[in-house]
Amino acid sequence: MTDVPAGWYPDPAMPYPGQPPTQRYWDGGSWTMHVAPVPWPYAAQVASGPTTPDGVPLAGWWQRVGAFVIDSLVISVVNVIVTLPLQISMQRKMQALVARLDTTEPGRTPDFGRFVRDYLDILLPLITWSALATLAGWAIYSALMLRFKGATLGKMVVGLQVRLRERPGQLPWSAIGLRILVQFGYLLSAVVPLLYLSLFWYPYLDCLWPLWDKKRQALHDKAARTNVVRIR
């Protein structure tokens, strides 16, 4: 069967007595462990919404948003803990800066230009390190969850999974890396805070893209050739 293209075919394994027939995915070289019920006639004609090429229904936009919100809460908690020393240091410096402004000699105009410069000297490092900590958190979390579970915690809660568009199975590291780079790589621009702030629109564009995309892919899905699918 080595000349047969990848796809779903009748399962060569004999079903147990009373078990309905199943189909098994052939990856072009060997049978995989992925099985599915045999669809009833004309099922493809009445399937609701778009699917992958092998017929798995794609996730809805709101489902993906819900999953992302859950994942964001997880990352936010970790990020707050990691950057807590930096936040405490910033608060102390801000208090000292405000106190210095309040102790300006009577009749002397406060140097607001210096105040703004000192304020930015305190704020910009916090923006940079917070963004880099967020990037590290998302990268580690997404890489491990997608590689070994095929889904993040948020996606697992709402019944979604990430897979290559053309075939099921474990995601390769290359696809995972591309997803992370395209989805969160803009956070690297935080080393130049003004550039980072100017890219505020990018995550919204990436998030909204599946709304008008026929394959329901975000930009990071397109780069990695993946789809988010419904598994329940």
For residue 25, give the H/E element and its range.
strand 22-26
**Per-residue pLDDT tens digits for 188-211:** 999 998 899 999 999 999 999 999
Q: What's phi and psi for 56, nearest 5 deg? A: -85, 130
Per-residue pLDDT tens for 82-137? 888 877 888 888 788 777 766 656 666 666 777 777 777 878 888 898 899 999 99
Q: Residue 220 in contact with residue 56, Cβ under 8 Å?
A: no
Contact 208, 62 (CB under 8 A): no
CA distance 207 to 183: 9
Please give the pLDDT value at position 55. 84
From 61, 59, 60, 52, select the one nearest 34 (Cα to Cα): 52
